[in-house]
Amino acid sequence: MSNIAGSRSALNWVVHLSVLGLVLLWLFPTVGLFVSSFRTADQISTSGWWKALFPSEQNLTLRATDPGNVEQLEEGGRWFISGNLFDEGVDASVSVWGVSSRDIAAFTPGDTADLGDGEVITVEANGDYVWSGAVKLEGRGQRVFATATTPPEFTFGNYRTVLFSKSTTDSMAKAFFNTLTVTIPATIIPIVIAAFAAYALAWMNFPGRAILIAIIVGLLVVPLQLALIPLLRLHLGIGIGKGYLGVWLAHTGFGLPLAIYLLRNYMVGLPRDIIENAKVDGATDFQIFTKIILPLSFPALASFAIFQFLWTWNDLLVAKVFLIDATGETTVMTNQIVELLGTRGGNWEILATAAFVSIAVPLAVFFAMQKYLVRGLLAGSVK
């Protein structure tokens, strides 16, 4: 018996560890982007983001202050310059250093290096140096090659660039508002239209109802790729052209089958008694719908609203076809990120930050309303 118990707990450990492993594996890519968005371009290109969380050892090329810029102290026939090799506020510690690029680990902190012509330099671990010569020092500041450990360092600079700068290629502010402008009407309008249709399909008897439901189930899977050219021609033909109105209409049309399907499935499950009692009391269908069905269907409405919001916010194809014209004034975030990938493919600090700005809103919605999302998924698929 104890044997069985033992194997149980071992298995339990395996389960916990594998879940932990999977979660970390799934989280790792996103965390990489998130960390990168807080690093400077230099930091990103010189070391992997996973090293950013720990103090890193770097080979630095530093320079003492140019003799022209400071006053030199004369003492006992020698001229002295002293200071710190690091910029102000940098909290680094030198482990080894050298004065020639061929031998960057010649000295340890506290050692004194002979530079020839009577010049010597001493470097301490915290970057303090004393540089002296037999004659007055001149020219440029002495170069020091140091291997230094610097603590993790993060910056909000990328977010400032991406959100508030006036640069037309980097700034996401306009695209952010454009995305919002596309998303909100495209989420709300299909809900209203679908709710009435779902009520008719769920609670009204009329010939052809079953066929209509079957057609809607069929339309649920029609790839929207098919709709691109005919609808673009239609929009151009009736004068809507490329613009917000077109993209709102397109998202409404594409979202309707799922909306009707989800809402109808939910409404069918509402208790029959309430509706029949209301009818006996003389309520019209319109009253029943607005006063009873709509409030009771809130969970299903919320589910669909989240779906549609995520889908319109994250969409690239529909926006590219129906919204974004040659001027690029109406670009959305997904499109701008794709363009950044093309033009600034190597500038990870901009890319990572831009991507994170676009991801942040859906992530917030996701974590705040996960319950409804899961409910909607279950209602939409397991039937």
Residue numbers 44-83 binding other proteins by CB under 8 A: 44-50
C-alpha dihedral sign at 281, 283, 289, 290: negative
- Is residue 222 involved in binding other proteins (CB under 8 A)? yes
Measured from the CB of residue 249, what is the shortest distance to other proteins in angstroms? 7
If the CB atoms of residues 123 and 256 are measured against other proteins, the closer one turns out to be: 256
**Dihedral (C-alpha) 5, 6, 11, 17: value to the nearest 10 degrees?**
120
User: What whole-number distance in Å separates Cα of residue 344 and Cα of residue 169?
Assistant: 9
Return d(Cα 301, Cα 258) in angstroms, integer.
11
Our CB check for other proteins shows the closer of 50 and 164 to be: 50
No. of helices (H) and no. of strands (E), the chain? 15, 8
Give me 269's structure tokens: 């499950």
In the bound state with other proteins, the residue whose beta carbon lies nearer, of 48 and 110, is 48
Task: Tell me how far apart the alpha carbons of residues 188 and 185 are, in angstroms, rounded to a whole number.
Answer: 5
- DSSP-derived secondary structure letter, 145: E
**Residue 135: burial class (beta carbons within 10 Å; 0-12, 13-18, 19+):** exposed
CB of residue 376 vs other proteins: minimum separation in angstroms? 10
Compare residues 35 and 64 and give the one whose CB is closer to other proteins.
35
Out of 10, 11, 53, 73, the only residue in the binding site for other proteins (CB under 8 A) is 11
* Cβ atoms of 318 and 224 closer than 8 Å: yes
Q: Given candidates 257, 301, 349, 372, which one binds other proteins under the rule CB under 8 A?
A: 257
Dihedral sign (CA 88, 90, 91, 96): negative
Q: Which two tokens stand for residue 166?
A: 């006036």
Q: How many CA atoms lie within 13 A of 108 on its CB side?
A: 0
Closest contact distance (angstroms) between CB of 252 and other proteins is 6
Three-class DSSP category at 260: helix
Q: Does position 366 bind other proteins by CB under 8 A?
A: yes
Q: How far is the CB of 219 from other proteins (least distance, A)?
A: 5
Nearest distance in Å: CB 371, other proteins: 10
Cβ proximity to other proteins: between 73 and 341 the closer is: 341
Task: By CB under 8 A, tell whether 337 contacts other proteins.
Answer: yes
The secondary structure of 273-319 as a DSSP string is: HHHHHHHHTT--HHHIIIIIIHHHTHHHHHHHHHHHHHHHHH--HHH
Q: Which is nearer to other proteins, 277 or 284 (CB)?
A: 284
Residues 195-214 binding other proteins (CB under 8 A) are 196-197, 199-201, 204-206, 209-210, 212-214
Which listed range, 101-109, 118-126, 155-163, 368-376, lies at the site for other proteins (CB under 8 A)? Answer: 368-376
CB 83, min distance to other proteins, A:
30
Looking up tokens 């026939």, which residue turns up? 77
- With CB under 8 A as the contact rule, the residue among 218, 241, 269, 328 that binds other proteins is 218
Min dist CB 49 to other proteins, Å, is 7
Query: How many chain residues bind other proteins (CB under 8 A)?
Result: 110
Residue 177 in the binding site for other proteins (CB under 8 A): yes
